Amino acid sequence: MNPPASHLTAALAGNPNAGKTTLFNALTGARQHVGNYPGITVDKKVGVARAGDRRLTVVDLPGTYSLTAYTQEELVARKVLVEERPDVVVDVLNATVLERNLYLAVQLMEMGLPLVLALNMMDEVRAKGMEIDLKRLSELLGVPVVGCTARNSEGVRELVETALDLAEERRGSWRPLHISYGPDLDPVLSEMVCAIEREAFLTATYPPRWLALKYLEGDEEVLALGRAAGPLAATLEAMAAKVADHCQKTLASYPEALIADYRYGFIASVLKQGVILAGVRERIAFSDSLDRVLTHKVLGPVLMFAVLYGVYELTFRLGAYPMDWLGNFFGLLGDGVTALLPEGLLRSLLVSGVIDGVGGVLSFVPLILIIFMLIAFLEDSGYMARIAYMLDRVFRTFGLHGCSVMPFIVSGGIAGGCAVPGVMAARTLRSQREKLATILTAPFMTCGAKLPVFILLVGVFFPDNQAQALFGITLTAWLAALLVAKLLRATIIRGPSTPFVMELPPYRLPTLKGLVIHTWERTWQYIKKAGTVILAISVILWAAMTFPGLSAPEAERYAAARAELAARIEAAPAAARPAMQAELETLVAGEQRDRLQGSLAGRMGTALEKVTALAGFDWRTNIALIGGFAAKEVIVSTLATAYSLGEVEAEASAPLVERLAGDPAWTLARGVSLILFIMLYAPCFVTVLAIRQESGSWKWAAFSLAFNTLLAFALAAGAYQLVLRL
Amino acid sequence: MFSSAVRCLRGEKSMTAKPLTSYPKGSKVTIKNYCAGQQARCRLCAMGLTPGTLVEVASGGSGPCRLRVRGADMILGQGLADKVLACPCHEPPEE
């Protein structure tokens, strides 16, 4: 069945660093839609390209070097090609390193889909003095070839037209290319193809020869598919094993190495036939001299830490202004609603539940916007790959990846970050296990919301060494994150580290368009979440801190006492009023405390007291910690309410410091245990949602809640008991 | 599994091929063989590190190994680079 011409679909394939994303942006402009490929967290981008009144739907495949089953990206790319059978495939190649990039093209040709080669970066080719005969390349390979420069949209229109023409001409038919794999493999390949064709084994989806090649390469996905499809699988596997053995004995090599060798041989023979007319094979000299400084043994790490620190400073300094504006806006909105509505549940719900909740969440948007802009810049410029390269050795010791440094630092590795953009920054990690370990441990860092809580506690327990204590907390957080990552990688996320193979792209100046599109799509995903799930959870938390509250007789008693006191103030002479006013405030604060204790969270806090006593927490602390799940700075205000101090701002907690410092129940043991607990326990729910988004499953989000809290409690209790006995 | 490892070790001796990590910065070497599993071998091949390929080692010492292969800069983790065996390229090929 051929879809109508207006609904032709193209898949955009290509190596990482071939400029695929830039070309996708040039093809589709802002008309793109970002989603996820089912089950994994590789972005799936779809957009529409136009040429005159013809339209081409473009699906951006993840960047891959080949079509084996080695990485998630490769599996996804292959799945789209085979299952969605696009009308045409556009393979984006970095024309300056044509040989390597043609490797994927050859594999696509072996599958036989209608293929157009887009030779990107033609401007760099010209700058290097290279000359490529596109017509000759097209003749030799038998596929259309279009030269283009995605950065300035050169050749993009021609590319769309060529792709549309080919799609209309081929009407979905596949024409696999046959390459000779030499005397050792060709005979067995023919034999396998014969057997596959005879039994029509999986031929509805795969070309026979391609299937046979995958058997020789030992492709795990194809092997599994084959076993499910029929008994021929066993025969094919036996044939492949025999060939492998033969290759080992006679050539001391492997079938997959031979296959790759012949593919490269095929490419070399094509290129030699007058495709590259004049060529300098060296890389851009500028990039090399830059690398001499940026990845220098001593200077490299120093500059890297400067850059990381710069990213952090820029994000939180620049972000502070719009965050303030947003905070003020939502504050005004809350005040407005407070003034308009009568006191009661509806007002409380709107102000404390909806406005505070969504406002709090949206106030992260500036941070996310800036951090993604900077990360996009580091990624697109090629520096991110160097960071991973320089730090890989250190982080690998803990089962992590060089790229883990960014999430850690942004989450608060330098105190005052935020775990929400931090967790989202883990997107640069391509290997699943390392990414999970990073996402789960990054929230241990001292984020900007935990900072006021720590400042409060440090003020109470270490009044003379506040700075040193805060620094110690930051170091402890790093230590905890790295050790727990190591623990997770040795247990639940066990498995060998994904072998580190990566290409270092030459340095390039990112395009503004690319940065903007990149940043916007990630931020928008976050905002959409804020409108739905986050609003719901915020309301639930509000309800837990409000209901059922005071019993009716108690509420009446307080109301009567307040009314009576108010009447007395009214009647009293002016000189006596301040004292009575203070009395009223104490009364109101007491009512708030009792209401909090009567709420669901309060009851939970009281019920948990028996257990949490092990770590030295009483019901007041428990409620505050439950409230901290909404946002960590809430711990301060909730503690204040629980201590009947009325309204206390997180940033101005002096009265609370005095109150706690004077309380004999607040021993040093409790202080140490509480600091440890707050450092490690369940991330705030916005972070939990970010974890869900980045890990691709609720399972890991739930795990971070349960595991972090249990771990935090175990360590806090241990520390409490230890300090008590000292 | 076991037999391939033995074969691999034997191969290493007979061909005087050494792991990539044992070459100093600036060495030009020819890829000979791998001790890695099939998946990793496929990956290495796809990245252009097929047996017989001429590569230049661009970083020395421990840690990830930086290589220049077919016109591009590549990084191999130390674990993987240990499993890629290569000969100095002035030696004649031993096929």
- The CATH number of the domain where B39 resides is what? 2.30.30.90
Per-residue confidence (pLDDT) for residue A34, from 0 to 100:
64
The interface residues of chain A toward chain B in range 198-217, judged by CB-CB distance below 8 A, are: 217
Report how far residue A621's alpha carbon sits from residue A716's, in angstroms, rounded to the nearest whole number: 13
A100 touches chain B (CB under 8 A): yes
B48 touches chain A (CB under 8 A): yes
The interface residues of chain B toward chain A in range 55-84, judged by CB-CB distance below 8 A, are: 62-64, 66, 70-80
The HSE-up count of residue B49 (CA atoms within 13 Å, CB side) is 32
Q: Is the CB of residue B69 less than 8 Å from the CB of residue A281?
A: no
What φ, ψ does residue A609 adopt, rounded to 5°?
-55, -40
In a domain? residue B60? yes
Per-residue confidence (pLDDT) for residue A3, from 0 to 100:
45
Report how far residue A724's alpha carbon sits from residue A667's, in angstroms, rounded to the nearest whole number: 9
Question: Who contacts A615 (Cβ-Cβ below 8 Å, separation ≥6)?
Answer: A673, A674, A677, A713, A716, A717, A719, A720
Among chain B residues, CA nearest to A281: B71
Q: Which residues pair with residue A94 across a beta bridge? A: A120
The HSE-up count of residue A444 (CA atoms within 13 Å, CB side) is 27
Spans of chain B below 50 pLDDT? 1-14, 91-95
Residue A73 structure tokens:
């990206």
Return the residue in B42, B44, B56, B84 with the most chain A beta carbons within 10 A, the one to mutate for interface testing: B42
In a domain? residue B93? no
Per-residue confidence (pLDDT) for residue A35, from 0 to 100:
61
Domain boundaries, given as residue ranges, for chain A: 5-170, 182-272, 549-598
Per-residue confidence (pLDDT) for residue A487, from 0 to 100:
95
Whether residue B75 and residue A385 make contact (CB cut-off 8 A), yes or no, is: yes
User: Collapsing DSSP states into helix, strand and coil, what is residue A418?
Assistant: coil
Whether residue A503 and residue B52 make contact (CB cut-off 8 A), yes or no, is: no
Q: Which residues of B touch A261 (CB under 8 A)?
A: 45, 50-52
Containing domain of residue B11, as a range? 2-88
User: Collapsing DSSP states into helix, strand and coil, what is residue A332?
Assistant: helix
Report how far residue A708's alpha carbon sits from residue A702's, in angstroms, rounded to the nearest whole number: 10
Report how far residue A183's alpha carbon sits from residue A549's, in angstroms, rounded to the nearest whole number: 83
Report how far residue A487's alpha carbon sits from residue A680's, in angstroms, rounded to the nearest whole number: 15
User: Collapsing DSSP states into helix, strand and coil, what is residue A416?
Assistant: coil
Whether residue B70 and residue A396 make contact (CB cut-off 8 A), yes or no, is: no
Report how far residue A100's alpha carbon sits from residue A673's, in angstroms, rounded to the nearest whole number: 56
Helix (H) or strand (E) holding A699: helix A698-725
Beta-strand (E) ranges in A15-137? 32-36, 43-51, 54-60, 88-94, 115-120, 131-132
Whether residue B80 and residue A497 make contact (CB cut-off 8 A), yes or no, is: no
pLDDT one-digit tens code per residue, A503-555: 888 888 888 888 888 788 777 867 776 666 667 777 887 888 887 878 888 88
Do you find a cis peptide bond into B19, omega within 30 degrees of 0?
no
Whether residue A504 and residue B66 make contact (CB cut-off 8 A), yes or no, is: yes
Return the residue in A256, A392, A431 with the most chain B beta carbons within 10 A, the one to mutate for interface testing: A256
Residue A86 structure tokens:
């696009």
State the total domains in chain B. 1
Whether residue A70 and residue B80 make contact (CB cut-off 8 A), yes or no, is: no
Q: Which residues of A touch B76 (CB under 8 A)?
A: 499-501
Q: Is the CB of residue A92 less than 8 Å from the CB of residue A120?
A: yes
CA angle A640, A641, A645 (to 5 degrees): 65
Q: Which residues of A touch B51 (CB under 8 A)?
A: 253, 257, 261
Report how far residue A546's alpha carbon sits from residue A592's, in angstroms, rounded to the nearest whole number: 10
Nearest by CB to residue B46, choosing from A65, A251, A500, is A65
What interface predicted TM-score (ipTM) does this complex get? 0.81
Whether residue A283 and residue B48 make contact (CB cut-off 8 A), yes or no, is: no
Whether residue B79 and residue A264 make contact (CB cut-off 8 A), yes or no, is: no
The HSE-up count of residue B50 (CA atoms within 13 Å, CB side) is 17
Q: Is the CB of residue A661 less than 8 Å from the CB of residue A681?
A: no
The interface residues of chain B toward chain A in range 13-42, judged by CB-CB distance below 8 A, are: 15, 33-34, 36, 38-42
Return the residue in A94, A217, A253 with the most chain B beta carbons within 10 A, the one to mutate for interface testing: A253
Whether residue B75 and residue A393 make contact (CB cut-off 8 A), yes or no, is: no
- Helix A20-28 crosses helix A156-170 at what angle (to 10 degrees)? 80
Per-residue confidence (pLDDT) for residue A121, from 0 to 100:
92
Nearest by CB to residue A504, choosing from B39, B40, B75, is B75
Helix (H) or strand (E) holding B76: strand B72-76
Return the residue in A132, A217, A222, A500 with the most chain B beta carbons within 10 A, the one to mutate for interface testing: A500
Whether residue A259 and residue B45 make contact (CB cut-off 8 A), yes or no, is: yes
Return the residue in B73, B82, B87, B95 with the most chain A beta carbons within 10 A, the one to mutate for interface testing: B73
Per-residue confidence (pLDDT) for residue B5, from 0 to 100:
43
Per-residue confidence (pLDDT) for residue A5, from 0 to 100:
47
Q: Which residues of A touch B43 (CB under 8 A)?
A: 65-66, 68, 70, 499, 501
pLDDT one-digit tens code per residue, A450-481: 887 888 888 889 888 888 888 889 889 999 99
B93 touches chain A (CB under 8 A): no
Asked if the A182-272 domain carries CATH number 1.10.287, the reply is yes
Report how far residue A647's alpha carbon sits from residue A546's, in angstroms, rounded to the nearest whole number: 16
In a domain? residue B94? no
B50 touches chain A (CB under 8 A): yes
What φ, ψ does residue B93 adopt, rounded to 5°?
-60, 145
Residue B94 identity: E
Per-residue confidence (pLDDT) for residue A101, from 0 to 100:
93
Among chain A residues, CA nearest to B60: A297
Spans of chain A below 50 pLDDT? 1-5, 39
Per-residue confidence (pLDDT) for residue A1, from 0 to 100:
41
Chain position carrying tokens 């009314």: A563
Asked if the A5-170 domain carries CATH number 3.40.50.300, the reply is yes
Chain position carrying tokens 């700058």: A127
What φ, ψ does residue A115 adopt, rounded to 5°?
-130, 135
Report how far residue A501's alpha carbon sits from residue B36's, in angstroms, rounded to the nearest whole number: 13
Q: Which residues of B touch A248 (CB under 8 A)?
A: 4, 7
Beta-strand (E) ranges in A539-695? none
Per-residue confidence (pLDDT) for residue A6, from 0 to 100:
57
Q: Is the CB of residue A437 less than 8 Å from the CB of residue A493?
A: yes
Whether residue A252 and residue B46 make contact (CB cut-off 8 A), yes or no, is: no
A479-482 long-range Cβ contacts below 8 angstroms, 24+ apart = A480/A441, A480/A444, A480/A679, A480/A680, A481/A408, A481/A441, A481/A442, A481/A444, A481/A445, A482/A398, A482/A400, A482/A441
